Chains A and B, each alone.
Chain A
């Protein structure tokens, strides 16, 4: 039995550990790959230059997605602005919960899709957008809807879009570096022999570089998914902190997960934004626990049992 403050504190710590772990991992990969590339070039700072280029390239690729996240997602999912009288519960409870969370009321949109789901995006609370499907608005009562909206508002309050954008840039950088490492090793072989003194070290770095180039893109993605799952737990706890009714979010999650209709508007790029995994792939057993590593969301049962602790 834990109270909501303890849960939130524990969540914050775990999330910080995962995020810091990710940055440490990133620094390690950068160091190994850039040194290994430096040995190939026969000029060590050269590798670091590659890191800079990779960062800038990856940043540019993600920048548009981050800066216009609200507009892009809305145009992909074909969402319409919510209307106070037509979507009364959605509109008014978002208004109320935003007040309780101490953030401005986000822009509200509705997607015409019978699969119940919701997501939030936008780079800061002023630009935030909360989107719900018509299926969600029909199937949930007001208390359940409040749980879902408060979850989304917590994502907004925690700047999760920003965090995931930064993480995505770094994951992209790692992927680029690993790719370039393989290309460089085709062409840059000639100069190695000149540097006889650090020959052993160079060999070590090159072997390490090959291992890192193979594994690090996968590991980076796994950590990215772990961060995403951690932030879901944080948003669940934050939702309870606002509504003080875990039962609402619990029964909402049950309703959402028991509905097996896939969401048409969702795609891989927007999956981590939703309240529950929009693809609904459920695999049990040992394969399931391995497959869990590749999910953007923790399993609903796990989230519900976490929420039960706060009752």
Chain B
């Protein structure tokens, strides 16, 4: 009888292992499904968030921008007035600048420190975070499908996979050939950053 115990134990071990493999496949499938939903969730967040961020940043920047625009205008008028040598035009330009001064004062008084760079910096932080969130939610789908697909084809877990008909998961659908796996001449140039 004790000899019989060994094959029985082996059989139990194999059965436990098969159950574990099966559970891995089905639970990973479920997790991939959830991870795909997470991408949608993050995209939705991004779609809701960015226009609002943009609006609030714009609101902050509007009065600063207005002042700078007015100042630029005034400078242009003065320059052209000086060039033309017309006294009337010069005095008009002068009064235009003096009319601006209370506006400038109002802006500086309401914001002792001009908040422009801080507001833009904050906007940039939020934009990077949002892009990261979408990227990382995709990363989870990629990682989970890779784990699943590797286990599906590698021995001996592939036996369990084929026994229960576990199909390959597509993950993030990406064409296997095309421009993104080729390096064109335009990619060899260093990108130029232009700030206008």
Q: A-side interface residues toward B, CB under 8 Å?
A: 88-89, 92-93, 95-97, 99-102, 142, 241-242, 244
10 extra A-B contacts, CB within 8 A, seeds A88-B129, A92-B129:
A88-B125, A93-B129, A97-B136, A99-B38, A99-B133, A100-B136, A100-B139, A102-B31, A102-B35, A102-B140
A87 CB to closest chain B CB, in angstroms? 12
The answer to whether A100 touches B140 (Cβ under 8 A) is: yes
- The smallest C-beta distance from B27 to any residue of chain A, in angstroms, reads 11
In contact, B140 and A96 (Cβ under 8 angstroms): no
B54 at interface by CB-CB < 8 Å:
no
B192 within 8 A of A: no
| Bound CA–CA A78/B139 (angstroms) | 35
B31–A96 touching, CB < 8 Å: no
B128 contacts the other chain (Cβ, under 8 Å)?
Answer: yes
- For B41, give the chain A residue with the smallest CB separation: A99
Cβ of B132 < 8 Å from any Cβ of A? yes
Contacts known (A88-B125, A142-B128, A242-B139); A102 close to B133, Cβ less than 8 A: no
Interface centre among B38, B128, B132, B140 (most CB of A within 10 A): B132
Interface string of B125-159 (1 = CB under 8 A from A): 10011001100110110011000000000000000
Q: Which of B128, B136, B137 has the most CB of A within 10 A?
A: B136
> Given contacts A102-B31, A102-B144, is CB(A96)–CB(B125) below 8 Å?
no
Contact A96 B144 (CB under 8 A): no
> Are A96's CB and B128's CB within 8 A?
no
- A-B residue pairs, 7 tightest by C-beta: A100-B136, A92-B129, A100-B139, A96-B136, A96-B132, A99-B136, A96-B133
Q: Give Cα A234 to B129, complex, Å.
A: 27
Contact of A96 with B38 in the complex, beta carbons under 8 Å: no
Listed by A's residue number, 21 A-B pairs whose Cβ atoms lie within 8 Å are A88-B125, A92-B129, A92-B132, A92-B133, A93-B132, A96-B132, A96-B133, A96-B136, A97-B136, A99-B38, A99-B136, A99-B140, A100-B137, A100-B140, A100-B143, A102-B31, A102-B140, A102-B143, A102-B144, A241-B143, A242-B139
Of all chain A residues, the one with the shortest Cβ separation from B136 is: A100
In the complex formed, the residue of B with least CB distance to A85 is B122
Q: How far is the CB of A263 from chain B (nearest CB, A)?
A: 28
Which of chain A's residues have a CB closer than 8 A to the CB of B137? 99-100
Query: What residue in chain A is nearest B132 (Cβ atoms)?
Result: A96
Which residue on chain B has the smallest CB distance to residue A244? B139
Chain A residues within an 8 Å CB radius of B129: 88, 92-93, 96
Given the complex, which residues of B lie within 8 Å of A242, measured CB to CB? 139
Nearest CB in chain A: distance from B48 CB, A: 16
Taking the closest CB of chain B, its distance from the CB of A97, in whole angstroms, is 7
Q: Which residues of A contact B136 (CB under 8 A)?
A: 96-97, 99-100
Per-residue 0/1 for B37-74: is the Cβ within 8 Å of any A Cβ (1 yes, 0 no)?
01000000000000000000000000000000000000
Instruction: With both chains docked as a complex, state the minimum distance between the C-beta of B192 and any C-beta of chain A, in angstroms.
Output: 23
A88 to B121, CA, bound (A): 12
Contacts of A95 in B (CB 8 A): 133
Among A101, A102, A242: residue with most chain B CB under 10 A: A102
In the assembled complex, the Cα of A93 lies from the Cα of B129 at a distance in Å of 7
Residues on A with C-beta less than 8 A from B140 are 99-102
Minimal beta-carbon separation of B82 from chain A (angstroms):
48
Q: Which residue of A lies closest to B129 (CB)?
A: A92
Measured between alpha carbons, how far is A100 from B118 in the docked complex, in Å? 29
Interface centre among A88, A97, A99 (most CB of B within 10 A): A99
Name which residue of chain A comes closest to B142, CB basis.
Answer: A100
- Which B95-147 residues have C-beta < 8 A from chain A? 125, 128-129, 132-133, 136-137, 139-140, 143-144
Minimal beta-carbon separation of A146 from chain B (angstroms): 8
Instruction: Give CA–CA (A14, B137) in the complex, Å.
Output: 30
Which residues of B lie under 8 Å from residue A142 when comparing CB positions? 128
The docked-state distance in angstroms from the alpha carbon of A90 to that of B129 is: 11
Q: List the B residue with the shortest CB-CB distance to A242.
A: B139
**Nearest residue in B to A101 (C-beta to C-beta)?**
B140
Bound-state Cα–Cα, A96 to B128, Å: 11
